Structure 1
């Protein structure tokens, strides 16, 4: 099954956020996204999978399947779990090149960076950086095999 392009998924998220009038409602939506995130097996909740730079604990793992990067994650904080869920919705199951090219403009468009505390904004950027690092590593491994 071919997933929608990253830009299309980002556009859908922006449209979802436009349905809400208040940031309280938007935070509720983010929390709901986190509740829908597939549970991460405890075997992956290890130090090597923790994202550095996040105030909350965030575990992120990835796998390379059929030329696509698949992400799984969890967090001990409900808002952060929703944020990583949103990032997974956008980036997971795409090729390394697609992930590396993603500008993630939707984050600014929905006003996320201005409504998060500085530490959460830094954490969000750290999550994106780690996801792109995984994509780069898979790209380099794949390129070296050819």
Structure 2
């Protein structure tokens, strides 16, 4: 049930031979992501459970989920970009139906992230799911 944007990332990952190339691609995705307004980087948007500083600001318009996000770590910023591709534009009531762990496993990310990064990724997914559930 992945979005076309996420499917595009998954297809790109299929062509990348090793983790180092995938890691670089994740960082590039983060660099390409629009910057989050620093005024939104407040305690209310901060994601707890991440080793890095992470902020996620949900945006729900016309029943569809979206968010702005940022981090002080480039790889985490890239993971935010991947999550954005996975969730952006999904009807808010369907966000909880997405098996983010399985979708991310398609990219081989969890196998190659440190335990702290994996925990942070799970915390970001949980935050997105909670915000969407509250809005639904």
Q: TM-score range by the shorter chain?
A: over 0.9
Report the Cα distance in structure 2 between the residues aligned to 1:18 and 1:121, rounded to whole angstroms.
Answer: 21
Aligned length: 135
Report the Cα distance in structure 2 between the residues aligned to 1:47 and 1:11, rounded to whole angstroms.
Answer: 32
State the SS of the aligned residue for 2:51: coil
The question of 1:66 aligning with 2:67 is answered no
Consecutive unaligned residues in structure 1, runs of 5 or more: 140-146
Report the Cα distance in structure 2 between the residues aligned to 1:96 and 1:70, rounded to whole angstroms.
Answer: 9
Q: After TM superposition, what 4+ stretches of structure 1 lie above 4 angstroms from structure 2?
A: none
TM-score w.r.t. the length of structure 2 is 0.93
Name the structure 2 match of 1:121: 118
Report the Cα distance in structure 2 between the residues aligned to 1:133 and 1:62, rounded to whole angstroms.
Answer: 11
State the SS of the aligned residue for 2:24: helix
Are the equivalent residues in 1 in contact too, given 2:3–2:85 (CA < 8 A)?
A: no
Report the Cα distance in structure 2 between the residues aligned to 1:45 and 1:11, rounded to whole angstroms.
Answer: 29
Name the structure 1 match of 2:99: 103
- Give the greater-gyration-radius structure (CA): 1
The question of 1:56 aligning with 2:52 is answered yes
Report the Cα distance in structure 2 between the residues aligned to 1:7 and 1:74, rounded to whole angstroms.
Answer: 21
Consecutive unaligned residues in structure 2, runs of 5 or more: none
Report the Cα distance in structure 2 between the residues aligned to 1:17 and 1:120, rounded to whole angstroms.
Answer: 19
Are the equivalent residues in 1 in contact too, given 2:60–2:92 (CA < 8 A)?
A: no
